[in-house]
Amino acid sequence: MSKFQTATLAATAALTAGALFASASSAKPARGHARAHAGSTTVHVVEHALTDDEIPTGGGKDVKGNILTFVNPVFDAANQKRVGHDEGFCTRLDVKQGIWECLWTTFLKGGQITVQGPFYDTHNSVLSVTGGTGAYRNARGEMVLKSRNGGKEYDFIFKLS
């Protein structure tokens, strides 16, 4: 099992399909796609890092260039109800500094949100929201990634504008 799974998320956690806006005041996206992001919106989900798999690229376990892949379930902010899933990958950039660069998509009831950015073995990070589909088609902003439960779960806090 990679450091990513045990330390934080190995930077590829991530993305959901259920009743999503658990952290926002509503359990559904705002009515109409054009209005879904008229102001700022926070979407908070919890990823369970169950399938993270580090794929060696020739130099063994946990070396520069290795790829971490995942498809994980995502739950509401209360961590009670499954609301979707994520799928993505990370590339190990620096073992000594504990850095991965990741790209993943979170599949939610109203659409998808895609993020890209760093994942660190020993501390939380912030990734860029690079786009979305459906209710999130104009999504921009950032996603705060916080490790929980020893890196077995992660808070995805999307701050969309």
Q: What are 103-140's pLDDT values in tens digits?
A: 999 999 999 999 999 999 999 999 999 999 999 999 99
Query: Is 109:83 a contact under the CB 8 Å cutoff?
Result: yes
Distance separating alpha carbons of residues 56 and 81, to the nearest angstrom: 34
Pick from 150, 96, 145: which is nearest to 116 by CA? 145
17 pLDDT band, cuts 50/70/90, is very low
Distance separating alpha carbons of residues 110 and 91, to the nearest angstrom: 29
What is the per-residue pLDDT for 38? 52
Structure tokens belonging to residue 149: 């439960």
Eight-state DSSP code of residue 30: P
Average confidence score pLDDT of the chain? 82
Distance separating alpha carbons of residues 161 and 33, to the nearest angstrom: 13
Full set of structural domains in the chain with CATH: 3-28+40-156 (2.40.480.10)
Distance separating alpha carbons of residues 67 and 10, to the nearest angstrom: 10
Q: What is the mean pLDDT of residues 59-65?
A: 92
pLDDT at 34 over 90: no
